[in-house]
Structure 1
């Protein structure tokens, strides 16, 4: 039987939260209604005293855990090097802030912390003793356009392996395994006036592995409209996709994965995600014996359908994993 546990990142309810439709309590209540027992909190988004945890906020967290049976299981830290107006933070300053994030994650009872790539491989190794002391596993998020085998992530892998620490690793985001263009982005471009044939041509360039600078020149020479060009940059950036997702890279890093972001943008009527092959990703993770959480992360904020889509996403994962 699978050891995978399903949760939700409260980031999924961003639109509802920032508009005032949902309170913090409502976000947790929705998790309970969907039927999960763990959530990830993006610290800068929902912790008023970030990077510290006030006793008042901790009391609220514990109160809601008792009322709704849902607790924080992952802490989304923000490696913000741009906090000063005159210069970027240096590695020593980012190290100090990351150690504080580890302490805050521990105070909330989170056993996992998501870090970002601006925390260098050297600093990731440097914080390992603190992660061990506070019993918080720190994972670098692998997010589009990175993949488990991209040069930057291989540097982290080398540092993790050399360190010998069991407290530093990865938090892969499923978006980096997309095998189709983002449907909402595609149709959004068409609605804004993109030429459909030219947009499909751009999709083909990405599928064929044409380097971005070459694809830009090809489309420029063909007088592609601004919407097609904007879509192209998305296809090579946060909405990247590939004919051959990096599943072998995923298998290689699985021993160092503590947590996963179950990214999804839109769900089909048949209950499947429209651009990310969950039917291939989840069995790979399950077969490894992974014992941890996959948190659903909804990105279709403007739809206003976060609750319904997240519920549908959890149902899809349960079906694929045989959880009933």
Structure 2
């Protein structure tokens, strides 16, 4: 028999993968998300800003319709992506109470739709707001996940205090979500091709292709940006190098694993040349099997920024790849233990 992932790990898919279809609006967002449960996977992470017109204060009727349509297909929600708009204008920051009031309707909607938790970027809430949210999280039985991703690292000055705050709370209702975009051994093949077509020099392309994890490579990319030599047509795409694509090692996560309750299995394309897609998954399976992790592992496709592939087919294939890679190393890890 082929190895399987442990029963206390849950493979999911994010509705974010279907962003191009949702924004095209040829079908309703609800129909698209319900279709995920019907044909891809039963457990779904929601991006409500794409789904509910009344977001960030979702109306009960919208929430109930989605919950019921998913339930009819045997589907359920894992995590809801929350939003915390800290400013009411370019210069006016919300007070602590206003920030709490902004989030509370989203927590109620997450509980109403049947989710296990909500998600925010790492450190955005801050310790004061987390402390105020704790009673409501317990009342609604929700977990608030703070996400670390891309170029962020556990020791980054903007990240470490947030991790310390979560650890200091010692509360299972406040956890960390890790996006494995942190763990990229190499850049996506299709992304490199987009840069090539966009006019990036062969010299920098060679470094990006062969020496992604060398700090000097990122320095060269930053230097090109600062010199104003990135072609305007690919400027936004180029910024992924500085923000969304990480260079961490799986071992860098070891110290924070006790705080982690969920993962985003970020992928950009499915070209596994040099195991650039499967290696982070295999490394993660080995790491988690030794740590006793329980939680969700969610397929999240970021490559629709430059690819026109079918999100349903891409997600199905990625989930199959992820399940195989995670299961193989998880089984090996348990055998070693």
TM over 0.5: yes
Aligned to 1:106: 111
**Structure 1 residue aligned with 2:186, among 180, 191, 213?**
180
Distance 1:220 1:80, change over 3 A: closer
SS in 1 for 2:53: coil
CA RMSD of aligned residues (A): 3.1
- Kindly state the Cα deviation for residue 273 of structure 1 after the two structures are TM-superposed: 5.7
Residues matched between the structures, number? 318
Aligned to 1:255: 258
List runs of 5+ in structure 2 lacking aligned partners. 329-337
- Kindly state the Cα deviation for residue 213 of structure 1 after the two structures are TM-superposed: 6.2
Aligned to 2:321: 316
Aligned to 1:288: 291
Aligned to 2:244: 238
1:252-278 Cα distance to aligned partner (Å, 9 max, x none): 222222222111110026896648621
Distance 1:90 1:183, change over 3 A: farther
1:8 maps onto 2:13 in alignment: yes
TM-score with structure 1 setting the length: 0.86
- Kindly state the Cα deviation for residue 296 of structure 1 after the two structures are TM-superposed: 0.8
Aligned to 1:75: 80
SS in 2 for 1:130: helix
Contact residue 181 and residue 275 of structure 1 kept, 8 A: no
SS in 2 for 1:322: helix
Aligned to 2:303: 300
SS in 2 for 1:8: strand
1:126 maps onto 2:132 in alignment: yes
Aligned to 2:50: 45
- Kindly state the Cα deviation for residue 180 of structure 1 after the two structures are TM-superposed: 1.0
Distance 1:22 1:294, change over 3 A: farther
Contact residue 145 and residue 176 of structure 2 kept, 8 A: yes
TM-score with structure 2 setting the length: 0.83
Aligned to 1:277: 280
Contact residue 180 and residue 275 of structure 1 kept, 8 A: no
Distance 1:276 1:14, change over 3 A: farther
